[in-house]
Amino acid sequence: MKAYLVRALILVGVLGALNSRCLSEEVVVDERGEFSEIDPGDENGEGDENGEGDENGEDDGFGTVAGSLVIASDYMFRSISNSNNGPTVQGDLNWTHDIGFYIGVWTTNTDFGGPGNSMEFDPYVGWSGDLPETEINLNIGYWSYNYPKSEFDFDYAETYLILSFTVDKLTISPSLWYSNNYFGRDFLNNVDSLAYEATFSLELASYMDISVHLGEQTFESSYDYLNYGYYDAGIDWKISDYTLGLRWYDTDGVDPFLAAKNLTDGRFVFKVTRSF
């Protein structure tokens, strides 16, 4: 997908958000480096994955602890397999205060083909809330990617900004992710990167939605030959505290230096999520 098209769609999302007065949804952690939109209270009034609400749908002032467990057929990050095309088990645990502040940790198995690359441990912190006099949700934060068992230094971090708003049953979420040291000292070594993303999610029923996620990973000018596009689309089916997901992932223009072709080829990924 051409870079200008991705950026145009993100701009449409931003302009739509700035002119929106419709009902927004909370932005919550979905998987590594990605966020999704779900209602602040589920059918049992237990709140979302960021704990926005207790069993009565209200925060008790202390905040709420929540989390999720995911089993998937592949670990995809910006449409590149980070588990060497193998299955993954992922977990998230987070705490959210009623003022919108949240902190948490996300972890998963990894496989980059080298010795010791078997685990990822990602603490994150941020704030999520509606902009003044609007119902547009703003989510800003800091996400740290860490590989404690790797013999190479791939650790790095990104700051992110996400807007989210809903028109009827369509939720639009443009976002930016910036790093000043993409994938650590032993990969590119202090190279700036910026990812542009936009997610479009349509609720088909209270238990089912479809979504499309578009993005472009860019790098500073001396490394711009590594820029590439990525996208995925799929359906999620909610059954009580479980969510079943099936998505198609693909990339456009990935340089072999960044990732091998067999890690970037298009594929379906099946995922089961248990929220608690």
Task: Count the helices and strands in the chain (H runs, E runs).
Answer: 2, 16
Q: What is the DSSP letter of 16?
A: H
CATH of domain 3-275: 2.40.160.40
Amino acid identity of residue 176, one-letter, is L
pLDDT at 29: 64
Q: Which residues of 79-100 are buried (b: 16+ CB within 10 A; e: fewer)?
A: bbbbbeeeebebebbbbbbeeb
pLDDT at 135: 84
The token pair at 63 is: 């905040």
d(CA 71, CA 76): 12
pLDDT at 57: 44
pLDDT at 144: 98
- Contact present, 171 and 205 (Cβ < 8 Å): no
pLDDT at 192: 98
What is the number of residues in the chain? Answer: 276
pLDDT in tens, the chain (276 residues): 555 566 666 666 666 555 544 433 344 566 665 665 433 334 333 444 333 444 444 456 789 999 999 999 999 999 999 999 999 999 999 999 999 999 999 999 999 877 777 999 999 999 999 999 888 999 999 999 999 988 889 999 999 999 999 999 999 999 999 999 999 989 998 999 999 999 999 999 999 999 999 999 999 999 999 999 999 999 999 999 999 999 999 999 999 999 999 999 999 999 999 999
pLDDT at 43: 39
d(CA 136, CA 122): 27
Neighbour count for residue 179 (Cβ, 10 Å): 21
The token pair at 268 is: 């379906």
d(CA 138, CA 163): 5
